[in-house]
Amino acid sequence: MELMTAGVTTREASVDDASWNVLGQTYVPKHRCDTSMSWHATFPDGTFVPHHIHTTQDEFVYVLTGELEAELDGAAPVKARPGDLVRLPQNVPHGIFNRSGQEATCLFWVSPTGNLWDLFVAIDSLADPVEVVRLSALHQVDFLPPPAQ
């Protein structure tokens, strides 16, 4: 079992010097252990994480700059602004969207870590959405069909 260590991860640092391009966003991992994982995310305007479900994890998004919209369990989008925390329990469908006209940054974390690190490594810079969906399902993250308009 990998336990969390005490310390400070500086602004410039990442776990294993990793940085991932995931669906147009930049993810920089800040800590990783068996019980949780966190990463800084930069969402350019117009990027999003499609609706999906984490079957084994709770997920959180703390907005640092800009504005994101969270679509939770089929409800209307909810705006999340700097200082807001989005709570995403396991098995609750959700998507995160930047429709603000400006870049947004946030801190994500999940508990437990599960297979998420391996998923991000597998889909880093992957442009084929069908392959992203396939690989995600192998790592306990299930993407959903787009909602009906």
Question: What residue numbers bound the domain in which 119 lies?
Answer: 15-141
Residue 23 lies in a domain: yes
Q: How many residues does this entry show for the chain?
A: 149
Q: Which of 43, 37, 47 is nearest to 120 (CA)?
A: 37
Residue 3 lies in a domain: no
Residue 37 lies in a domain: yes
| Model pLDDT for residues 56-105, shown as the tens digit of each residue | 999 999 999 999 999 999 899 999 999 999 999 999 999 999 999 999 99
Residue 9 lies in a domain: no
CA pair distance 50, 73, nearest whole angstrom: 13
- In CATH, what number is assigned to the domain containing residue 108? 2.60.120.10
Q: Using 50, 70 and 90 to split pLDDT, how confident is the model at 149?
A: low
| Model pLDDT for residues 94-142, shown as the tens digit of each residue | 999 999 999 999 999 999 999 999 999 999 999 888 899 899 999 999 9
Residue 123 lies in a domain: yes
Residue 137 lies in a domain: yes
Pairing relation of β-strands 85-88 and 141-143?
unpaired
Domain total for the chain?
1
Residue 4 lies in a domain: no
Residue 147 lies in a domain: no
| Model pLDDT for residues 12-58, shown as the tens digit of each residue | 999 999 999 999 999 999 999 999 999 999 999 999 999 999 999 99
pTM of the predicted model over 0.75? yes
